[in-house]
Amino acid sequence: MLYFIRLGFKNVFRQRLRSFLALGAIALSVALVIVGISLTEGIQGKLFSEVLGDVGEIVVAKEDYFQKKRFNPLRHRLSESAKLRDHLMKVDGVVAALERIDFGLLAEYREKTFPIACTGLDLLQYAAFSALPDKIVAGRYPKAGEKAILVGKRIADELKIRPGDELTVLGQTIYDSFMADDYKVVGIFDFGIRMANRIAYLPLEQAQDFLEMPGAASKILVYGKNYLEATDLARKLRRLDLPPGVAVRPWTEEPLFASMFTMIRAVRLSIAGIICFVAGLGILNMMTVSVLERRKEIGLFMALGMSRLSITAAFFHEALLYGFLGSLLGILLGTPAALYLHRVGLTFDLDRIQGLPFAVTNSFHAQFGPGSLVIGFSVGVVLSLLGMVWPVLKTFSMGPQDAITRN
């Protein structure tokens, strides 16, 4: 074996240009696989962590709320929602439970009005699951106990408001009576999506006072340790002694999110497969051409009486060295690029996406980990072996004379 390894090293560095091209093709292909897999995994994780961070991994609400929330969600509210929230927090695996209220308002500033969607919740706890604090482009995030409102960029642009201005909001209470109040605009956020920028956020207590529903909420958002474990966590919540008519629904039972997850995962796997295929094709092509150029050498070995096993072993070890060295170079190239995308990310223009019932950021980061390195290294080594050994085996079908004389 040591003989074949030494022979492999000599062959690798004998033709420097050919070795440089082969190692370069392997390194670039492995780097492409590492970056591609890291980025696609990061996009999937980012999309779902932010989507479910906004809408909750599990929603606890009245059964009627899930069926009729489009018509009048405030009518099917949870009374004593704080007590129910504390009850849910006792379940093992629950990281947080947030009361939430969604309702419509009419915003007014200097005699100009604009219809908006409003969400009331505990903004301080919500900051741990949402990208909202990172999307503040003017002003700041609300403080505890502050009578303040956080508005989207589209609202600010339409009404020409800035942080520090007093915004008047008009709406109806749960008793259908008219209500108006003034709130200080403390911050303006920009998600890069027009629909998401039409939302305003109020602290939960302020929303409850405005709607005249103290101690009540439309629903409770439950967050676990991992959104992929939401179904198992929902089973635990359903075993609790819940108030009559209260239902527990994980995101996997919501057709929109379930189909969205399936589609995103399929797209991610398809893109990863295409990247591996293109990278592998480059490795196979380079290694195959490298061996076909050495048919005369293989024929000469056969003519000298060298066994097919010995010839195959020699090229096998050479291919192994090509794959090992090229993959290491690929890791050295791909790791900095993947780490850069992990820290800095890529920004996409999502302003044309309209009608989404949730807010997503327009910045995505790669999810760099050992898995992408293992896959990239494996692709480089395995395809290097296939690209070199297969043409050798094919050459054995010729006689030594044909192998030596054929161009």
Mean pLDDT throughout 270-282? 75
> Length of the chain in residues, anyone?
407
Q: Above 90 in pLDDT, residue 269?
A: no
Q: Of 390, 321, 87, 105, which Cα lies nearest the Cα of 220? A: 87
Q: Give the residue range(s) of CATH 2.40.70 domains in the chain.
A: 77-217
What sign has the CA pseudo-torsion 121, 123, 124, 130? positive
Lowest mean pLDDT among 155-159, 238-242, 288-292, 353-357: 353-357
> Binning pLDDT at 50, 70 and 90, where does residue 265 land?
confident
What pLDDT, on a 0 to 100 scale, did the predictor assign at position 357? 47
Q: Of 39, 21, 23, which Cα lies nearest the Cα of 275? A: 39
* Strand, coil or helix: 152: strand
Lowest mean pLDDT among 109-118, 218-227, 259-268, 376-385: 259-268
Alpha-carbon distance of 42 to 52, in angstroms, equals 15
Neighbours of 9 (CB within 10 A): 14
Q: Evaluate whether the domain defined by 77-217 bears CATH number 2.40.70.
A: yes
Q: For 137-186, what is each residue's pLDDT tens digit?
A: 999 999 888 899 999 999 999 999 999 999 999 999 988 899 999 999 99
Cβ contacts of 155 within 8 Å, gap of 6 or more: 107, 114, 116, 161, 197, 198, 200
Q: Are strands 363-364 and 219-224 parallel, antiparallel or unpaired?
A: unpaired
Q: What are the two backbone dihedrals, phi and then psi, of residue 273, each rounded to the nearest 5 degrees?
A: -65, -40
Considering the chain, what is the average pLDDT of its residues?
82
What sign has the CA pseudo-torsion 132, 134, 138, 140? positive
Alpha-carbon distance of 278 to 57, in angstroms, equals 36
Return the C-alpha torsion angle 194, 196, 198, 201, nearest 10: -160
The pTM of this model reads: 0.69
More confident residue, 75 or 362: 75
**Encoded amino acid at 18, one letter:** R
109 pairs with which residues across the strands?
112
Alpha-carbon distance of 322 to 167, in angstroms, equals 67
Give the rounded percent of residues in the chain with a pLDDT score beyond 90.
Answer: 34
What pLDDT, on a 0 to 100 scale, did the predictor assign at position 406? 60
Within 13 Å, how many C-alpha atoms sit on residue 357's CB side?
A: 10
Kindly tell me the burial class for residue 351, based on how many C-beta atoms sit within 10 Å of its own C-beta (0-12, 13-18, 19 or more): middle
Mean pLDDT throughout 269-294? 72
Q: For 9-27, what is each residue's pLDDT tens digit?
A: 555 556 666 677 777 888 8
DSSP assignment string, 29-42: HHHHHHHHHHHHHH
CA 239 to chain centroid: 31
Q: Above 60 in pLDDT, residue 283?
A: yes
> Binning pLDDT at 50, 70 and 90, where does residue 199 land?
very high
More confident residue, 7 or 395: 395
Q: For 373-403, what is each residue's pLDDT tens digit?
A: 888 888 888 887 777 777 776 666 666 666 5
Q: For 307-329, what is each residue's pLDDT tens digit?
A: 777 777 777 777 788 788 888 99
Q: For 68-96, what is each residue's pLDDT tens digit?
A: 776 677 888 898 899 999 999 999 999 99
